Structure 1
Amino acid sequence: MTGSNRLLLGFGWPLVVIVALLVARARSRTSGTPAPRALAIPPQGRLDIGFLAILAVLAFAIPALGHIPIWLGLVLVVTFGIYLWRASKVEDDDEEEFVGGAALIVALPVRVRRTTVITLFVVSAALILAVAEPFAESMVSAGTSLGVDSYLLVQWLAPLASEAPEFIIAVMFALRGHGAAAIGTLIASKVNQWSLLVGSLPVAHLLGGGGTDLALDARQVEEFVLTATQTVMGVAIILALRFHWASALGLLAIFAAQFAVTDTAGRYWLSALQVVIATVLLVAHRRHILPTLRAPFARSRSGAQTDREREPSAA
């Protein structure tokens, strides 16, 4: 969980932003227009950012408690369900463009389309269920044989395998000039990580014969603190619906630094650095805080209309 979370934000977000801005710069040279310095996130993106901000705050309860109680897991799972419902009600001002397999599915009759989508989900779930345990056990055994820390293999190798398809899709969006869709895909995935993924851990632990609380050791608490502070920093960066070059490179640099900083004290200092950066950005973007926190609870309207009503115009 901690590996996939940090990989998604620390590597995935900067990757699609850099690719999207490079594509935009190449197109600007052809058209003779100024190149954008930041990737713009559409106003309806406030819903995802608002949910992520709330989840980022809730995340600190886990290292504070030293365990993940079943009640918190259920709250997070329910939050994901509410997020899906709210996301389905958001009106998009732009006409949706479907390509590849998505375009083929959309073109199907309604009943066939729904059957196809449900079948895809069921088959995917069955395949994951079939290979998850053998994959995990083999990875731990390989780490033991090679003298590599199995914790690091589970934390980083498994997320690389699971997140790679999502990264590829997001990068494809960015290469096609749909940078907002690319970063929106990964922001939504981040909401998934902090709600459904974290919430399912104590539920799975209980179903597997454990207690109602999933206990964490000192190292896992440290990992949660580092991951939670990175999430707060990420929210602060995108709060103003702009993702700048400098922010993308900074995120990538801090993500890379954690591989060099391996001791506990160093990781807590790195967490403190992320909190300081987040605080500075939150102060700079303070007028965007309340509109973002209200977005998950607002009536379902066009994102652009909602933004115009809630935020003062920029002079």
Structure 2
Amino acid sequence: MSRLSHPLVQVAAALALTAGWVAVFFGGGALPVIPTYEELGVVLTVVVSGVAVLGASFLLAWGAETAEKDVPRAFAIAVLAVLAVAPEYAVDALYAWNAGSGGATTAACADLSAAAVEAGETQLARACHDANLAVANMTGANRILIGIGWAGIAVFTVWRAAKTHDSAVRDREGWLSDAVTLDRAIATEVAFLFAATVWAFFVPLGGGIDALDTFLLVGLYVTYIGIIIRGDVDAEEEHVGVPNYFQQWSLPWRPMVVLTLFAYSGTMIFTAVEPFAHGLETIGVENGIPEFFMIQWIAPLASESPELIVVVVLVNKARSTAGFNALISSKLNQWTLLIGTLSVVFSLAYGQYGVLPFDQKQAAEIWITAAQSYFALAILVNFEISVREALTIFVLFISQVLLEFIIIRDIVALPLTSYELLLVYAAAYALLGTALFVIRREALKEMLGLAADAGRTALGREPVHPEYAD
């Protein structure tokens, strides 16, 4: 092993990528030669914070892989997913807090016109606008995770398989039929995500995100964590590079390394992504892109970057199964914790219990997001995703975003409004998903059976579906 390829040298290189951000964020202003990130300007802030996110993502991936030596892989990946999407929570929580502190109740916002809310003419109107932004940012993040994350990583995995020889990639005859197969142990995550998705269709019917949504969605995630943390430690998969090096360390040093990597990378991601996303928003708005569009699509794309980088790292190690587990776990915690905690943050800012309101357009955004999730789960229910299926997910996602941008900017006259466009796509996703579930009903039954057995095993009971065991 050359000195430059030594694992500690690789860790030092990743730390070096975060050094600039550490200097300006934590040391800026302490010395005259070190500016704060506000003094850097928008472009330099985007560069410095973006590079720090890249370095932190490597550290986070190494920490999660090292942790698999001592805890169930699913739990290590769940921790990774929470840390990777922490910036998304922070951005959404900020908008929910502003909505609550401004008194944006469902009744108060209903009395305002859509134009007044959009323009933020008064403090109350701005608070109602922030409530809508909280939902828009959340739905945008969830759709990006599937439309770009799931789809892009599937295609990237198949493409890289020629060099990585990833055993999870299946060469099949037919046009774009090569597929990535998933570990059947992911059935637990898929089942809980399916339950959360079904509930999400009913959220808009309540007029806002309320305590019932919090109880059910957060409850689902807590139950999920309770099941996977009781799983067995899987030490069979051989790691290479930095994780392999740290896994050779003895107790208690190995867990201390894992906790340090998690804490440092989490701090970097949490502090750097918001300025990174905000800088991109500013650049976009200055170039004529509407604020709402930037907050729904560009800001979440920036905040989702850590987990996408982590998954690319895993795929390059021929660990696509772990990569997809991370993506699905990220989707699950965003679709449960992220939605469920918005009402809590809103109520804390409001000073009493309250319901986070949203307008008719955001109701449609929730429906299309739930429908996209429903369709994507119908694809994954047989534990594989082909290149053709991945491209279908991407084309449906990107075409809707582009068409909505055309409508918002009035570039070309289209015979429907932005709201109607969302409903059309939601219906298309729902119909396609239902058709796939009917065709793959045996796979759905198997997936639910595997998830049920995981729950029974966590409670110390014997599985009742031995026919689904590997």
TM bucket, shorter chain: 0.7 to 0.9
Aligned residue in 2 for 1:166: 307
Task: Specify the code of the residue in structure 1 equivalent to 2:457.
Answer: S
Aligned residue in 1 for 2:457: 300
Aligned residue in 2 for 1:240: 382
Aligned partner (choices 138, 156, 171) of residue 35 of structure 1 = 171
Aligned-pair distance for 1:101? Answer: 4.4
Q: Does 1:62 align with 2:203?
A: yes
How far apart in 1 are the matches of 2:425 and 2:469? 35
Q: Give the superposed CA RMSD.
A: 3.1
Q: Does 1:23 align with 2:165?
A: no
Q: Does 1:14 align with 2:14?
A: no
Whether the 8 Å contact between 2:171 and 2:179 is mirrored in structure 1 is no
Matches within 5 A, 1:42-81: 42-81=183-222
Deviations 1:1-45 (A, max 9, x none): 1111111111111112112222335677xxxx9824221111111
**Gapped regions of structure 2 (runs ≥ 5):** 1-137, 173-177, 405-417
Deviations 1:124-161 (A, max 9, x none): 56556656776677666666655432222222222222
How far apart in 2 are the matches of 1:297 and 1:20? 30
Whether the 8 Å contact between 1:91 and 1:300 is mirrored in structure 2 is no
How far apart in 2 are the matches of 1:220 and 1:100? 45
Whether the 8 Å contact between 2:277 and 2:298 is mirrored in structure 1 is no
Aligned residue in 1 for 2:356: 214
How far apart in 1 are the matches of 2:389 and 2:145? 15
Q: Which moved more, 1:40-49 or 1:91-100?
A: 91-100
Task: Specify the code of the residue in structure 1 equivalent to 2:466.
Answer: E
Whether the 8 Å contact between 1:43 and 1:307 is mirrored in structure 2 is no
**Gapped regions of structure 1 (runs ≥ 5):** none
Aligned residue in 2 for 1:268: 423
How far apart in 2 are the matches of 1:125 and 1:157? 21
Q: Does 1:284 align with 2:439?
A: yes
Q: Which moved more, 1:42-51 or 1:79-88?
A: 79-88
Aligned-pair distance for 1:268? Answer: 0.7
Aligned partner (choices 53, 64, 82) of residue 223 of structure 2 = 82
Aligned residue in 1 for 2:73: none
Matches within 5 A, 1:118-267: 118-123=259-264, 145-209=286-350, 211-262=353-404, 263-267=418-422
Higher relative contact order structure (alpha carbons within 8 Å, sequence separation ≥ 6)? 1
Q: Go from structure 1 to structure 2 and tell me whether the alpha carbon gap of 1:307 and 1:193 turns closer, same or farther (over 3 Å shift).
A: farther
Q: Which moved more, 1:41-50 or 1:116-125?
A: 116-125
Q: Which moved more, 1:18-27 or 1:62-71?
A: 18-27
Whether the 8 Å contact between 1:50 and 1:294 is mirrored in structure 2 is no
Q: Does 1:95 align with 2:236?
A: yes
Whether the 8 Å contact between 2:150 and 2:324 is mirrored in structure 1 is yes
Same amino acid, percent of matched pairs? 29
Residue-pair matches, total: 306
Task: Specify the code of the residue in structure 2 equivalent to 1:8.
Answer: L
Query: Computing the radius of gyration over CA atoms, which structure comes out larger, 1 or 2?
Result: 2
Aligned-pair distance for 1:120? Answer: 4.6
Whether the 8 Å contact between 2:139 and 2:366 is mirrored in structure 1 is yes
Whether the 8 Å contact between 1:70 and 1:213 is mirrored in structure 2 is yes
For the residue of structure 2 that corresponds to 1:160, the secondary structure is: helix
How far apart in 1 are the matches of 2:317 and 2:262? 27
Q: Which moved more, 1:247-256 or 1:81-90?
A: 81-90
Q: Go from structure 1 to structure 2 and tell me whether the alpha carbon gap of 1:268 and 1:85 turns closer, same or farther (over 3 Å shift).
A: same
Q: Go from structure 1 to structure 2 and tell me whether the alpha carbon gap of 1:136 and 1:99 turns closer, same or farther (over 3 Å shift).
A: same
How far apart in 2 are the matches of 1:58 and 1:311? 27
Q: Go from structure 1 to structure 2 and tell me whether the alpha carbon gap of 1:147 and 1:9 turns closer, same or farther (over 3 Å shift).
A: same
TM-score (norm 2): 0.58
Deviations 1:28-69 (A, max 9, x none): 7xxxx9824221111111111111111111111212222110
